[in-house]
Amino acid sequence: MSSTAKLWLLWVMVTLVAAAVLLTGMFYGGPSRATLLIGETTSGHHQIELACGACHTTPFAGPEAIEKTCQGCHADELKAAKDSHPLKKFRDPRNVDRLDKLAANKCITCHTEHRADITNPMGVTLPTDYCALCHQDVGKNRPSHEGLAFNTCATAGCHNYHDNRALYEDFLEKHAGEPDVKAKPVVALNTEKIEIEAAGEPLTTAAAADAPAAHRGGADVMSEWLATSHAAAGVNCSGCHAQDQKSAEAIAENWIAKPNHKTCATCHTMETATWLQGKHGMRLADNMLSETAGLYGMFQNRPLTPMRTEFARAPMQSKLPHSELTCTSCHGAHDFNTVKAQTDSCKSCHDDEHTRAYEGSPHHKLWLAESSGAAAKGSGVSCATCHMPRAWMEDESGYEEFLAANHNQNANLRPNEKMIRSVCMNCHGLGFSIDALADKELIKRNFDGRPSARIESIDWVMKRVKERGSK
């Protein structure tokens, strides 16, 4: 063989090997996958970007299949948000011409992934004046809106595409003129006692602990456990470390040193389910595989690892690299201190202006007063009060509702008007809440001060009410 032919052969071989490596990375995962990302993912999905199959269920799945996966994770949230533009609005054939202008029956029309160059807040990849496509003639019925720029509809604090629970006209009218701080500023749901189903006899002494000798914790562990509502509700060591085991031998044999979120989910179903939807737990949701089994055993099913601070895009403390985020990261392993979990745990990772400004803020002072027992239950404002508030949530069957802390921090965060009804309006008037949430600097100062912005939506509504009255 001539040397040219040899070179050609070598070139072909190298190309084939390289292609094979890349293709297997694409189909099965593994180390080469990260290099294959077709563009930076949005902040909503970056944590699971290497679990390609979460959205691209099959390698050549079309847009329809992707849509299904959007719904799979986000449908409940949209329902809870009383989505103003639900899919069902666009099924009627009378709207087909509208769909030609904007396929509003598809999530990916407005939210295209892997397009960092055109991604706006909320993961919107359309130019921000998209409202004009259908609501061009809004000025006809709302003279006040005549001449307003369409890129301000969803950015001026007045409207959202999906969630308008706190922004619709009659709601603004009903809550116009409310004081900045209400007469009885208390978060109502935080005053409610959550009933524990299937609670057993309280366990009150370390002697009652059923951990086998080899795994028995020290006195500190025992006293932490005895102080919890776990012990008070009869949840023994085996309740978490060896579930469903009765005899001492069975407990010893099936002992799990570090129970994971699935163990917690046995009792804390809603908390875990929502945690898996949010940024803290989404990497651990079902079917988040960074590698899929195949190719004659060369690849195995490998779930994503738990979240770590160095994966985050939001500013984090640098002192905690490689510590994995699980239930116990915030709740502790045996003391399950909910007071700590509501502020200190957050601060142990998060390191942004808003977090740093919490200490000493008015909300923090209220929280100190409540947690020291000086002020009424529900009057304090911890990180969790706003970011993981309690909510009534439907279980999977859709037949029952449970009151639980919503551990999906995102369910109540963006757009931030989502918080108005679930949180702010427990204590503040609607107008004040809207203004405060529109003031970025005030948010950075963790609401230490007064809103400098004034969103005029309530004024406009009241002007319209007045005009109507004088007609």
Partner 1 sequence: MLSFSKSLIASAVAGGCIVCGAAVATVTAKGVEYKDVADMLIAVMVADRTVYTKKVVQRLAAKQKVIKASEHYDDDKALPLPAQMFRFGAEHVADNTDKFSYSLLSLWPINKQNAPRTDAEKAGLKYVADNNGKNYYGEETLGGQKYFTAVYADVAVAKVCASCHNDHKDTPRSDFKVGDVMGGVVIRIPMAN
Site residues (CB under 8 A) for partner 1? 82, 88-89, 91-97, 99-100, 141, 170-171, 174, 464-465, 468
Structure tokens at 466: 């007045």
Nearer to partner 1, 92 or 195 (CB): 92
- Give me the phi and psi of 325, to 5 degrees please: -90, 110
- Tokens 């003639």 locate to 137
Measured from the Cβ of residue 380, the count of other Cβ atoms closer than 10 Å reads: 25
What type of residue is 276? Answer: L
Nearer to partner 1, 206 or 462 (CB): 462
Q: What does the angle CA 175 – CA 179 – CA 183 come to, to the nearest 5 degrees?
A: 105
- Tokens 């307003």 locate to 148
43-60 burial code (b ≥16 CB/10 A, e <16): bbbbbbbbbbbbbeeeee
For residues 361 and 448, is the Cβ–Cβ distance under 8 A?
yes
Nearer to partner 1, 304 or 458 (CB): 458
Q: What is the DSSP letter of 158?
A: S
Minimum CB–partner distance for residue 271 and partner 1 (Å): 25
Minimum CB–partner distance for residue 170 and partner 1 (Å): 6
Minimum CB–partner distance for residue 91 and partner 1 (Å): 4
Nearer to partner 1, 67 or 271 (CB): 67
Q: Which residues contact 432 (CB under 8 A, 6 or more apart)?
A: 178, 179, 180, 181, 451
Nearer to partner 1, 100 or 195 (CB): 100
- Give the DSSP H or E segment for 302: strand 302-303
Minimum CB–partner distance for residue 93 and partner 1 (Å): 5
Nearer to partner 1, 166 or 341 (CB): 166
Question: What CA–CA distance (Å, rounded) separates 222 from 219?
Answer: 5
For residues 405 and 271, is the Cβ–Cβ distance under 8 A?
yes
Whether the CA torsion 51, 53, 54, 56 is positive or negative: it is positive
Minimum CB–partner distance for residue 89 and partner 1 (Å): 7
Minimum CB–partner distance for residue 461 and partner 1 (Å): 10
Nearer to partner 1, 80 or 307 (CB): 80
Minimum CB–partner distance for residue 178 and partner 1 (Å): 15
Give the closest residue to 212 by CA, choosing from 255, 245, 243: 255
Nearer to partner 1, 136 or 372 (CB): 136
Question: What CA–CA distance (Å, rounded) separates 106 from 248?
Answer: 55
- Give me the phi and psi of 303, to 5 degrees please: -70, 160
DSSP letter string, 22-42: HHHHHHHBSGGGGGG-SSPPP
Q: What is the DSSP letter of 471?
A: -
- Give me the phi and psi of 294, to 5 degrees please: 160, -175
Question: What CA–CA distance (Å, rounded) separates 198 from 119?
Answer: 48
Nearer to partner 1, 8 or 392 (CB): 392
Minimum CB–partner distance for residue 165 and partner 1 (Å): 9
Give the closest residue to 285 by CA, choosing from 310, 265, 268: 265
Nearer to partner 1, 115 or 464 (CB): 464
Question: What CA–CA distance (Å, rounded) separates 152 from 112?
Answer: 21
Minimum CB–partner distance for residue 10 and partner 1 (Å): 55
Nearer to partner 1, 96 or 257 (CB): 96
Minimum CB–partner distance for residue 341 and partner 1 (Å): 32
Minimum CB–partner distance for residue 434 and partner 1 (Å): 17
